[in-house]
Structure 1
Amino acid sequence: MLGFLSVFQISQGQEEDEAKRNYDFHLLVGSSVSDTYFSFTNETESDTEPGVGISVGIGTALNLSKTFYLTLDYVLRLRRSKDIYFDNNFNLYYLSFPGALNIRVNKILDIAFGPQVEIIIFTNGNDRKDGEMFSHSLEHRNLGIHLGPIIHLSEKSSIALKYFAGLNNIGINYEGLYREFRIKSFGLRYSYRF
């Protein structure tokens, strides 16, 4: 009986510590539809087709109050797009760091918005040569903003809809033509808190 009471007190103490804890960690997985919006230096847009990519990562949340909390995620992200002008599909592999201020609207709905920094790890095109040329001539950073709702499915899991808009022009000198593009995407993400 004494052992049972000791275990009960320890577990109750852990629950109280969890309630007082103002941070948590989460795993996330998602998918997004991205487009690169290529253009030449004379402002003529090149035709592109959006592509579907995936993302996996971990993150942390810090509670500021009952209404506001901050999140910072560390994500490995694949963005895909097709450049019709060069008839080539490109895969862009990024390390992505989205940060957000989150507003709790009610028990089910939050709104998140904030900056996102991405650093390209590598790329590949239809063949190895195209991928290598694209990698070596591509600017390696992407800066943007993201926003969207978060819907809580349970106390530990949620889904988020996210719109991302790149703010900087990403330059590329490919096959003798200098062009720039900006990334825009819509995504769906599942998150599990632990």
Structure 2
Amino acid sequence: MKTLSERLAKAMADTGFDSQTRLARAAGVEQSVISKIIAGASKTSKHSSKLAAAMGISADWLINGAGTMQGGIDSPLQRIDVSKLVKVFDEKGDTGEAITWISEVPEHYRAYIMKRNTGIAQAPAGTVVVVNPNRSPSTNDLVVTLISGNLSVFRYHLSGDGGGFLSVDDTRIPVTPVRSESDIVGPVEQIFIPALSK
């Protein structure tokens, strides 16, 4: 195969990407980039390595036609689906790292790794929580908080006057009023607990 267009079309067919939109989402590129390559309007593309990573094929083969689609190895290359990557944040902000999540999530979602037990049974130490910082919490939502430089998870309660309260699972500990809405990072959308016991 002599052209990038031919190699991309074959790679999509062989790797099960039946639509340009699906590949674009997995690679984190615009669908028009793929359309131009397939149509032959782009003979090269700075996005080829992202496309190769999303399909789990050799970037050298896709870009240059060198070697084999599998890169000369017996086992398939790992696919990297950027639509499932979530940026990892800590107390100081964006860590510059990302984790692969189990399902596709919006780009603005954040992942936090709880460094200690939170008082919420669903969020012990080591838990990865995915938060939507763009959504306001509702009553009984789990929320990630950043209070006095410490990350934690609480249950959120909305009061009649529009204020908020935080609680933990232990009913002996009284609810605490939310001092500032800026203490709430956002509601928890998904939780992953790597291990319940060691």
Q: Give the TM-score range, shorter chain.
A: under 0.3
Structure with the larger helix share: 2
Structure with the larger strand share: 1
Of structures 1 and 2, the one scoring higher in RCO (CA 8 A, sep 6+) is 1
TM-score by length of 1: 0.26
* Rg larger in structure: 2
